Structure 1
Amino acid sequence: MTRYSTLLFILLIISNVVWGIKFDLAATPSNIVARKCISQYVSTGTLVVVTIKVGFGYNQRVDVEITDNSSAHNEYGRKRDIDGETRMPFTTHTDADVSVCFTNTLDDEFRPDPKYHRTIDLDIDVGAEAIDYNALAKAEKLKPIEAELRKLEQVVQEIVDEMEYLRRREARMRDTNESTNERVKWFSLGSVFVLLGLGGWQILYLKKFFQKKRLID
């Protein structure tokens, strides 16, 4: 019973983790593109909710763009001139690092100055944390304990999916290592046979050369 209680406690801690960051974004002229990007790895098919709170700042325009670093360069959202609180939900298309990039453009009639900046409060909720369980409980008329159990079920499923992903990755790495070892083995054997062939050819060549010069019989 104690073991299950400990596991439940750990899952509750995991489920309450929220990844967030707060920083000041300096304003730059329109002819200078200065992007500040925050990245996080997210697996495929995962619900992500990006919540952005932009502080007050006059004569400045904050734009945001959300993409990943996969070969397809998927774009999950783009907004211009955001102000106050903005929520951008999406579901990832592939395993990749998802980047939330900001630019703060200063109006053309103003000169750059350290006083021109806006405070960005960024929260990235991934998987179970991205689901609004209060709305879900109201929609499905769930009791508080049922809603919490639904949340724990989602967290456990994410852990299982992550373990399965790690297992597949380990299998790919093992296959790559075995393939590399096989290639090295055949390359080494080929090198030995080539060296033996060259050695035999050199012996025969030198023997014929010395016989031609009548240095040996």
Structure 2
Amino acid sequence: MKLQKSSLCIILIIIGLLSTITQSIRFELESGHTKCIAEDIKSNSMTVGHYSIVNPNEGQPLPETHKITLRVTSAYGNSYHAAENVQSGQFAFQAVEAGDYMACFFAIDHQPPLKISIEFDWRTGVAAKDWSNIAKKGSVDAMEYELKKLADTITSIHEEMFYLREREREMQELNRATNSRMAWLSFLSLFICLSVAGMQIWHLKSFFEKKKLI
């Protein structure tokens, strides 16, 4: 019984830490300006995002001046989401390319300038799953729910480790290729310097011989 309680505590602590990582962020954007947020996403990972403008006057409709444009692009410039002059929205897609994905917010220009507060929640991998719906649909108890969530978290960490290992291998290959090129460049530079020095010596020797100085 004590072992089950300690295991449950560990599970809750881990999930609590994960939940703090995936909390939404709030930031301010001045009209006529752009702000971009980057997220490193693995290939074949699910990602979801929710964004909305925070109403400066609660209980009243949002002003027409409070509108934003959002574009989500991959590291290779491919567009995955685009919305213009909206006050809220969401996106969801499965990443085909690995790398840094950019979510760029743009506030329409306004005179005089104003600041817009934006609430943005961007989740990837295991954090992108709607666990509340899974718990309702599966009719599982609290322990099974936490264990299932933990199992998916472990799987995500395992995949992340393989992804980082692959990135490390690519970086090592790049370093080896760079070192090899630098070595060849050093030999080429040394050869050119020696050739120039030899030509200078030959030229000076010929000059002095013509002048009968040697």
Shorter-normalised TM range: 0.7 to 0.9
Give the TM-score normalised by the residue count of structure 2: 0.72
Q: Which of 13, 18, 25 in structure 2 is aligned with 1:21?
A: 25
Question: Using a 3 Å threshold, how does the CA distance of structure 1 residues 204 and 144 change in structure 2: closer, same or farther?
Answer: same
1:162 equivalent in structure 2: 160
> Aligned AA for 2:81?
Y
**Residue ranges of structure 1 left out of the alignment (5+ in a row):** none
1:89 and 2:92 are equivalent in the alignment? yes
Normalised TM-score (structure 1): 0.72
Aligned residue type for 1:59: E
Residue 59 in 1 paired to residue 58 in 2? Answer: no
Query: Is the CA contact (8 Å cut-off) linking 1:42 and 1:98 kept in structure 2?
Result: no
Does 2:183 correspond to 1:171?
no
Runs of 4+, deviation exceeding 6 Å: none
Q: Is the 8 A contact 1:47 1:91 kept in 2?
A: yes
Residue 191 of structure 1: which of 189, 197, 200 is its match? 189
Cα RMSD after superposing both structures = 3.3
Identity across the alignment (%): 26
Q: How does 1:63-212 map to 2 (within 5 A)?
A: 63-78=68-83, 80-82=85-87, 86-94=89-97, 95-103=99-107, 112=112, 119-212=117-210
Displacement of 1:167 in angstroms is 1.7
> Shift of the alpha carbon at 1:113?
7.0
Does structure 1 retain, via aligned residues, the 8 Å contact 2:66–2:116?
no
Q: CA deviation at 1:202?
A: 3.3
- Looking at structure 1, the residues matched to 117 and 206 of structure 2 have their Cα atoms a distance apart, in angstroms, of 86
Aligned residues: 201
Distance 1:48 1:77, change over 3 A: farther
After superposition, what is the alpha-carbon deviation per residue over 1:162-181, rounded to whole angstroms, capped at 9, x for unaligned? 22222222222222222222
CA distance in 1, matches of 2:82, 2:17: 27
Query: Which runs of 5 or more structure 2 residues have no equivalent in the other structure?
Result: 56-60
Task: Point out the more displaced range, 15-24 or 167-176.
Answer: 15-24
Separation in 1 of the partners of 2:68 and 2:195? 68
What per-residue deviation string (whole Å, max 9, x for no partner) do you get for residues 36-90 of structure 1?
444433333322222234424233352442412522332324264436xx44333
